[in-house]
């Protein structure tokens, strides 16, 4: 069996986790152009949402929604992009990406070629993101 990147490493700075999934902060490089960029990663190998049981799906999507709400509350983007691609790793995961109308890629996806330099934006602290995430998880 081949090594699994998301079994061997968290995939970023862990902000929060439970037995089923983890929320990580994406950092460095291009991600710094999108302050607050997070991923929600299912802990076990599962490639598709339909591989999960109904309660597991609800839990995962509750965590995705809480992460989206936390990022919105902390960095105040114009829009949030949610993406679930997972073509390489066998872990279902969601990208939670804050977007601004003046960001380096808008209106294209962040994986497209940048059309301008990214504007300077303050990077949120992990403490602020975790506090907002915890508050939103408590309401799910």
pLDDT at 119 over 80: yes
Q: What is the pLDDT of residues 71-94, one digit of tens each?
A: 999 999 999 999 998 788 888 999
CATH of the domain at 23: 3.30.428.10
pLDDT at 17 over 60: yes
Cis peptide before 77 (omega within 30 of 0): no
Tokens standing for residue 87: 């073509």
Query: What's the domain count of the chain?
Result: 1
Instruction: Give residue 5's pLDDT band: very low, low, confident or very high (50, 70, 90).
Output: confident
Listed in sequence order, the residues at least 6 apart from 124 whose beta carbon sits closer than 8 Å to its beta carbon are 35, 36, 74, 75
Q: What pTM did the predictor assign?
A: 0.93
46, 94 contact by CB (below 8 A) = no
Instruction: Give residue 64's pLDDT band: very low, low, confident or very high (50, 70, 90).
Output: very high
Tokens standing for residue 58: 């609800």
pLDDT at 20 over 70: yes
pLDDT at 1 over 50: no
Q: How far apart are CA 123 and CA 17, in angstroms?
A: 22
104, 118 contact by CB (below 8 A) = yes
């Amino acid at each position: 069996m081949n090594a699994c990147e998301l079994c061997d490493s968290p995939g970023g700075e862990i902000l929060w986790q439970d037995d089923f999934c983890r929320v990580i902060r994406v950092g460095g490089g291009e991600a710094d152009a999108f302050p607050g960029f997070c991923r929600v990663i299912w802990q076990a190998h599962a490639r598709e949402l339909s591989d999960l049981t109904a309660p597991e799906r609800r839990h995962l999507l509750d965590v995705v929604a809480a992460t989206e709400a936390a990022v919105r509350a902390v960095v105040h983007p114009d829009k949030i992009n949610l993406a679930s691609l997972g073509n390489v790793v066998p872990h279902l995961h969601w990208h939670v990406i804050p977007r601004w109308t003046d960001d380096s890629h808008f209106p294209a996806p962040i994986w497209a070629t940048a059309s301008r330099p990214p504007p300077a934006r303050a990077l949120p602290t992990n403490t602020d993101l975790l506090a907002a995430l915890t508050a939103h998880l408590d309401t799910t």
